[in-house]
Amino acid sequence: MTNLWWLFGGTLLAFVPVIWPFFPIVSALPERFLFVLTLLWCAFVLAFVFEEFLTWFFSVTIVTSERIIDIDFFGLLSKHVTVASITKVQDITYSQQGVFGAMFNFGDVIVQTASEIQTIECAKVPHPNRVVKILSELTSQKEQGDRE
Protein backbone atom coordinates (compact mmCIF):
# COMPACT_ATOMS: atom_id res chain seq x y z
CA MET A 1 0.00 0.00 0.00
CA THR A 2 2.81 2.39 0.88
CA ASN A 3 4.46 1.74 -2.46
CA LEU A 4 1.40 2.53 -4.54
CA TRP A 5 2.72 5.91 -5.58
CA TRP A 6 5.76 4.63 -7.45
CA LEU A 7 4.00 1.51 -8.72
CA PHE A 8 1.16 3.59 -10.13
CA GLY A 9 3.53 6.31 -11.30
CA GLY A 10 5.79 3.80 -13.01
CA THR A 11 2.84 2.19 -14.78
CA LEU A 12 1.60 5.60 -15.99
CA LEU A 13 5.07 6.60 -17.14
CA ALA A 14 5.39 3.37 -19.10
CA PHE A 15 2.46 4.46 -21.27
CA VAL A 16 3.86 7.91 -22.10
CA PRO A 17 5.32 6.76 -25.46
CA VAL A 18 1.75 5.99 -26.55
CA ILE A 19 0.86 9.69 -26.41
CA TRP A 20 4.05 10.90 -28.08
CA PRO A 21 2.35 11.34 -31.46
CA PHE A 22 0.26 14.07 -29.84
CA PHE A 23 3.36 16.17 -29.11
CA PRO A 24 4.37 18.05 -32.31
CA ILE A 25 8.08 18.32 -31.40
CA VAL A 26 8.40 14.60 -30.75
CA SER A 27 6.17 13.46 -33.62
CA ALA A 28 8.24 15.58 -36.05
CA LEU A 29 11.24 13.30 -35.46
CA PRO A 30 11.91 10.42 -37.86
CA GLU A 31 10.72 6.97 -36.82
CA ARG A 32 14.20 5.68 -35.94
CA PHE A 33 14.59 8.57 -33.45
CA LEU A 34 11.22 7.80 -31.91
CA PHE A 35 12.23 4.15 -31.59
CA VAL A 36 15.44 5.00 -29.73
CA LEU A 37 13.60 7.57 -27.61
CA THR A 38 11.02 4.93 -26.65
CA LEU A 39 13.76 2.45 -25.70
CA LEU A 40 15.47 5.12 -23.59
CA TRP A 41 12.20 6.10 -21.92
CA CYS A 42 11.51 2.44 -21.03
CA ALA A 43 15.02 2.20 -19.56
CA PHE A 44 14.38 5.28 -17.38
CA VAL A 45 11.05 3.93 -16.17
CA LEU A 46 12.60 0.53 -15.38
CA ALA A 47 15.46 2.19 -13.51
CA PHE A 48 13.03 4.40 -11.56
CA VAL A 49 10.85 1.45 -10.51
CA PHE A 50 13.89 -0.73 -9.65
CA GLU A 51 15.44 2.10 -7.65
CA GLU A 52 12.25 2.66 -5.62
CA PHE A 53 11.92 -1.09 -5.03
CA LEU A 54 15.50 -1.34 -3.77
CA THR A 55 15.06 1.61 -1.40
CA TRP A 56 11.84 0.12 -0.01
CA PHE A 57 13.15 -3.45 0.20
CA PHE A 58 16.44 -2.71 1.93
CA SER A 59 15.25 -0.01 4.34
CA VAL A 60 14.52 -2.27 7.28
CA THR A 61 14.40 -2.32 11.04
CA ILE A 62 15.70 -5.48 12.67
CA VAL A 63 14.63 -6.21 16.23
CA THR A 64 16.43 -8.88 18.23
CA SER A 65 16.43 -9.77 21.89
CA GLU A 66 19.68 -7.78 22.26
CA ARG A 67 19.37 -4.73 20.03
CA ILE A 68 17.43 -2.76 17.45
CA ILE A 69 19.07 -2.09 14.10
CA ASP A 70 17.53 0.50 11.80
CA ILE A 71 18.84 0.62 8.23
CA ASP A 72 17.67 3.42 5.96
CA PHE A 73 18.76 3.91 2.39
CA PHE A 74 18.39 7.34 0.80
CA GLY A 75 18.86 7.85 -2.90
CA LEU A 76 21.60 5.99 -4.70
CA LEU A 77 24.50 5.54 -2.35
CA SER A 78 23.49 7.04 1.00
CA LYS A 79 22.65 4.84 3.94
CA HIS A 80 22.03 5.46 7.58
CA VAL A 81 22.44 2.64 10.10
CA THR A 82 21.39 3.01 13.72
CA VAL A 83 22.09 0.33 16.33
CA ALA A 84 20.66 0.64 19.81
CA SER A 85 20.74 -1.84 22.65
CA ILE A 86 17.37 -3.07 23.89
CA THR A 87 18.35 -2.01 27.42
CA LYS A 88 18.67 1.59 26.24
CA VAL A 89 15.07 1.74 24.98
CA GLN A 90 13.04 4.15 27.10
CA ASP A 91 9.78 4.86 25.32
CA ILE A 92 8.02 3.31 22.37
CA THR A 93 5.20 5.12 20.61
CA TYR A 94 3.30 4.62 17.39
CA SER A 95 1.00 6.73 15.29
CA GLN A 96 -1.48 5.87 12.58
CA GLN A 97 -2.57 8.69 10.36
CA GLY A 98 -5.02 9.08 7.55
CA VAL A 99 -7.61 6.89 5.91
CA PHE A 100 -5.08 4.50 4.35
CA GLY A 101 -3.16 4.11 7.62
CA ALA A 102 -6.34 3.17 9.45
CA MET A 103 -7.75 0.97 6.69
CA PHE A 104 -4.58 -0.97 5.97
CA ASN A 105 -3.19 -0.87 9.52
CA PHE A 106 0.19 0.72 9.04
CA GLY A 107 1.84 3.58 10.88
CA ASP A 108 5.06 5.05 12.28
CA VAL A 109 6.81 3.54 15.29
CA ILE A 110 9.14 5.81 17.22
CA VAL A 111 11.60 4.32 19.68
CA GLN A 112 13.16 6.70 22.22
CA THR A 113 16.53 5.56 23.49
CA ALA A 114 18.90 6.71 26.20
CA SER A 115 21.88 6.60 23.83
CA GLU A 116 23.36 9.34 21.65
CA ILE A 117 20.93 8.56 18.87
CA GLN A 118 17.79 9.50 20.79
CA THR A 119 15.08 8.33 18.43
CA ILE A 120 14.74 5.53 15.95
CA GLU A 121 11.89 6.15 13.55
CA CYS A 122 10.34 3.31 11.61
CA ALA A 123 8.04 4.75 8.99
CA LYS A 124 4.95 3.05 7.59
CA VAL A 125 5.31 -0.17 9.53
CA PRO A 126 2.52 -2.77 9.16
CA HIS A 127 0.71 -3.60 12.41
CA PRO A 128 2.50 -0.94 14.49
CA ASN A 129 0.58 -1.96 17.62
CA ARG A 130 2.12 -5.46 17.39
CA VAL A 131 5.61 -3.97 16.92
CA VAL A 132 5.18 -1.80 20.02
CA LYS A 133 3.89 -4.79 22.00
CA ILE A 134 6.84 -6.97 20.95
CA LEU A 135 9.36 -4.23 21.74
CA SER A 136 7.77 -3.63 25.15
CA GLU A 137 7.91 -7.36 25.93
CA LEU A 138 11.56 -7.55 24.83
CA THR A 139 12.58 -4.58 26.97
CA SER A 140 10.72 -6.02 30.00
CA GLN A 141 12.32 -9.44 29.52
CA LYS A 142 15.77 -7.86 29.20
CA GLU A 143 15.24 -5.78 32.36
CA GLN A 144 14.08 -8.85 34.29
CA GLY A 145 17.00 -10.87 32.95
CA ASP A 146 19.48 -8.17 33.98
CA ARG A 147 17.97 -7.97 37.49
CA GLU A 148 18.33 -11.74 37.93
Partner 1 sequence: MNEAAITQSVLVIVKLFLLALIALFIVFSFIVIRQVQLMTRVLTVPISPTLKTVAFGLVLYSVGIFIVAFIAL
Instruction: By CB under 8 A, name the binding residues for partner 1.
Output: 29-30, 32-33, 35-37, 39-40, 43-44, 46-47, 50-51, 54, 57-58, 60, 71, 73, 76-77, 79, 81
Taking CB atoms within 8 Å and a gap of at least 24, the contacts of 72-78 are 76/51
What is the widest separation between alpha-carbon atoms in the chain?
Answer: 80
Q: Please, which residue, 66 or 137, has the CB nearer to partner 1?
A: 66
CB of 26 to partner 1, least distance (A): 11
CB of 32 to partner 1, least distance (A): 5
Q: Please, which residue, 53 or 104, has the CB nearer to partner 1?
A: 53
Q: Please, which residue, 29 or 123, has the CB nearer to partner 1?
A: 29
CB of 46 to partner 1, least distance (A): 7
CB of 13 to partner 1, least distance (A): 15
- 126 contact partners, CB below 8 Å, separation of at least 6: 104, 105, 106
Q: Which residues are registered as beta bridge partners of 8?
A: none
Q: Which amino acid is at 113?
A: T
* 122, containing H or E segment: strand 119-126
Counting every residue written for the chain, the total comes to 148
Q: Please, which residue, 71 or 104, has the CB nearer to partner 1?
A: 71
Q: Please, which residue, 49 or 132, has the CB nearer to partner 1?
A: 49
CB of 50 to partner 1, least distance (A): 6
- 125 contact partners, CB below 8 Å, separation of at least 6: 61, 94, 106, 107, 108, 109, 131
